[in-house]
Amino acid sequence: MAIFDFFKNKEFSKFMKEGDTFAEYGKYEEAIQSYNKAIQVDHESIEPWFKLGLLHKEKEKCEEAITAFDKVLELDPKHVQAIFQKGMVLGACGRIEEAIQCLDRVLELDPKYAMTVWYQKGVHLGKLGKMNEAIQTYDMILEKDPKFALAWYSKGLLHEYMGNYGEAITCFDKALEIYPKSADLWHHKGLNLGKQKRYRDALTSFNMALKIDRRHTNAAIQKGMAFEELGEYENALAAYDSVLKIDQENAKAWYHRGIVLQHLQKPEEALSSFDHSIELAPKNPTLLITKGILLASLNRRSEALKYLDQALDIEFISEVKKFRDAVAAEKS
Residue type for 165, please? Y
How far apart (Å, rounded) are the C-alpha atoms in residues 5 and 41? 11
Question: Which pLDDT value is given to residue 3?
Answer: 45
Q: Mention every residue, 6+ apart, whose C-beta is less than 8 A from residue 289.
A: 307, 308, 311, 317, 320
Question: Which pLDDT value is given to residue 332?
Answer: 62
List pLDDT tens digits, range 17-53. Answer: 988 998 988 899 999 999 999 999 888 899 999 999 9
Question: Which pLDDT value is given to residue 4?
Answer: 41
Residue type for 44, please? E
CB atoms within 10 A of CB 53: 26
Question: Which pLDDT value is given to residue 8?
Answer: 55
3-state secondary structure at position 224? helix
List pLDDT tens digits, range 74-128. Answer: 999 999 999 999 999 999 999 999 999 999 999 999 888 888 899 999 999 999 9
Write down all domains in the chain, each with its CATH number in brackets: 44-145 (1.25.40.10), 146-213 (1.25.40.10)
Residue 146's alpha-carbon distances to 44, 93, 107, 178, in angstroms, are: 43, 31, 21, 10
| Closest C-alpha among 51, 40, 35 to residue 8 | 40
How far apart (Å, rounded) are the C-alpha atoms in residues 77 and 258? 59
Question: Which pLDDT value is given to residue 7?
Answer: 40
Helix (H) or strand (E) holding 181: none
3-state helix, strand, coil split of the chain in percent (to 5) is: 80, 0, 20
Cβ atoms of 102 and 83 within 8 Å: the answer is yes
How far apart (Å, rounded) are the C-alpha atoms in residues 16 and 53? 14
CB atoms within 10 A of CB 11: 15
Share of residues in the chain with pLDDT > 70 (%): 97
| Closest C-alpha among 285, 280, 236, 284 to residue 259 | 236
Q: Mention every residue, 6+ apart, whose C-beta is less than 8 A from residue 162.
A: 131
Question: Which pLDDT value is given to residue 6?
Answer: 44
Which residue ranges in the chain fall short of pLDDT 50? 1, 3-7
Q: What single-letter DSSP state applies at residue 120?
A: H
